[in-house]
Amino acid sequence: MGFTNIFETTIERYKHPEESPDCSKPPTFDSHFGFDGRKRKLRDPSVTEDEVRSANISMNHRNYCAKYFIKLMHCHQKNRVKFNPCSYESHNYQSCLNDDAILRIYEYERERRLKSRQLKLDKLQKVFYAQSELVSIAMQTMKKDF
């Protein structure tokens, strides 16, 4: 049940608000849950905060692709007059943005599926406890009858 567009995501959030993750909060599940001892590679930004500040990058471009954005801006500064000289740097930057968006979608889907799994397990646990309560009550009434 992948989300292909924003309208599906919005409808799913409206129909099942308890299953859809809140993007403004950090993930609720352990990042290594379900990986059986394997370590997930951490995403570290390749550019330090000082490099970003010295390059005067605006806040909306300060992400994991800042390294490619800096290279693209340097290319634009060197080749102002030429027509489309920075296509290679632009392609690298756009590819990085695309890969970053895909990874964010994967993390959103992982969080959504883990939330729905947790809700199903909680529901089954409630049913199990309710049935065990009924069985214990039935056993007590049977003991009284004998």
Residue 146 confidence (pLDDT):
58
Q: Is 37 part of any domain?
A: no
Q: pTM of the predicted model, to two decimals?
A: 0.71
Residue 6 confidence (pLDDT):
74
Q: Is 23 part of any domain?
A: no
Residue 41 confidence (pLDDT):
79
Domains held by the chain: number: 1
Per-residue pLDDT, averaged over 98-104, amounts to 92
Cα dihedral: 46, 47, 49, 52 (round 10): -150
Give the structural domain span for 93. 46-117
Q: Is 74 part of any domain?
A: yes
